Amino acid sequence: MTRPLISISGLYKHYLVNVPVLKDINFSIASGEFVAIMGHSGSGKSTLMNILGCLDTASAGHYYLEDRDTAALSSDELALLRNNLIGFVFQGFNLLSRSTLLDNIALPLLYAGKTQAERHAKALNMLARVGLAELGERLPNQLSGGQQQRVAIARALVNDPKLILADEPTGNLDTKTSDDIMKIFIDMNTEQKITIVLVTHEPDIAAHAKRLILVKDGQIESDTRT
Ligand SMILES: Nc1ncnc2c1ncn2[C@@H]1O[C@H](COP(=O)(O)OP(=O)(O)OP(=O)(O)O)[C@@H](O)[C@H]1O
Ligand SMILES: [Mg+2]
């Protein structure tokens, strides 16, 4: 039996004492799934994504990632797990404004200790995959929002993650650009079997996923496969 990639049980999160933002969350996600998470603003989606990405820790409960109890790992071990396993695409892109697109994309490879030659080759390849092959030496502010988002996706994918965590990756983008970006996610999921967890406010975007988790007031309201 293959164990789920993600397994969460009895998970709580509170920032302020006695004000839980996440309450008794239980679910698992198998390798290769494509999951959309929806819910009202403030319901706890980004908080959950930060915990899934090992950027934040739960206040109570368990989170097993690839069978590892994340609560038992040191911050160095969590960083290693994050760098080797997870690609992040968060809203706002978080691109480094003074670095070229190629350097932005290559950043996870730098953390992973890859050589300059390997970083350059892989970053160039990813830039081409998101349709921006000619623009490698530009700076992020010389791109449109949709192009910047594609660069963020290229950066998320460059180190061959098993898991992509995307928090509103198509927020503020027009329909055509959103469709282009969703196509990249769908291809990653179907061709490379990369597990995708994607937060969105848009039903059209969520419809691309094979499973929908609805979050309401810090709890899972429903969890359905489509
Ligand atoms: N660092 C923090 N300290 C205190 N409260 C926080 C912190 N981060 C988030 N919260 C609170 O936790 C709740 C959930 O926030 P979260 O960002 O997870 O919501 P969300 O579902 O992602 O909303 P949105 O759709 O607007 O992005 C909100 O009430 C928010 O104010
Ligand atoms: Mg959010």
The answer to the question of residue 30 being in a domain is yes
- Closest Cα to atom 17 of ligand 1: 46
User: Cβ(46) to ligand 1 under 6 A?
Assistant: yes
- Closest Cα to atom 19 of ligand 1: 42
- Closest Cα to atom 27 of ligand 1: 41
The answer to the question of residue 195 being in a domain is yes
Residue 147 has pLDDT above 60, yes or no: yes
Confidence of residue 1 (pLDDT cuts 50, 70, 90): low
User: Cβ(15) to ligand 1 under 6 A?
Assistant: yes
User: Does residue 103 or residue 157 have the better pLDDT?
Assistant: 103
Identify the bridge partners of residue 19 per DSSP, sorted by sequence position.
Answer: 16
The answer to the question of residue 35 being in a domain is yes
Give the model confidence (pLDDT) of 153-204 as tens digits: 899 989 889 999 999 988 878 888 888 889 989 999 999 999 999 999 999 9
Q: How far apart are CA 200 and CA 84, in angstroms?
A: 25
Q: Is 24 left (phi over 0), alpha (psi -120 to 50) or beta?
A: left
Assigned token pair, 207: 């419809």
User: Cβ(216) to ligand 1 under 6 A?
Assistant: no
Residue 4 has pLDDT above 70, yes or no: yes
Ligand nearest to the CA of 52: 1
The answer to the question of residue 1 being in a domain is no
Assigned token pair, 126: 């990813």
The answer to the question of residue 116 being in a domain is yes
- Closest Cα to atom 12 of ligand 1: 21
Residue 114 has pLDDT above 80, yes or no: yes
Residues with CB in 5 Å of ion ligand 2: 46
Q: Is 211 left (phi over 0), alpha (psi -120 to 50) or beta?
A: beta
Give the per-residue pLDDT at 45. 97
- Closest Cα to atom 29 of ligand 1: 42
User: Cβ(108) to ligand 1 under 6 A?
Assistant: no
**Residue 21 in contact with residue 217, Cβ under 8 Å?**
no
The answer to the question of residue 27 being in a domain is yes
The per-residue pLDDT of the chain, averaged, comes to: 92
Ligand nearest to the CA of 23: 1
Ligand nearest to the CA of 201: 1
Give me ligand 1 centre to Cα 73, in Å: 25
User: Cβ(47) to ligand 1 under 6 A?
Assistant: yes
Three-state DSSP at 211 gives strand
User: Cβ(11) to ligand 1 under 6 A?
Assistant: no
Assigned token pair, 26: 């239980």
Which CATH number is 195's domain given?
3.40.50.300
User: Does residue 1 or residue 141 have the better pLDDT?
Assistant: 141
Total domains in the chain come to: 1
Domain extent for 180: 6-225
Give me ligand 1 centre to Cα 215, in Å: 12
Closest CA to 208 of 176, 174, 168, 179: 179
The answer to the question of residue 52 being in a domain is yes
Give me ligand 2 centre to Cα 42, in Å: 7
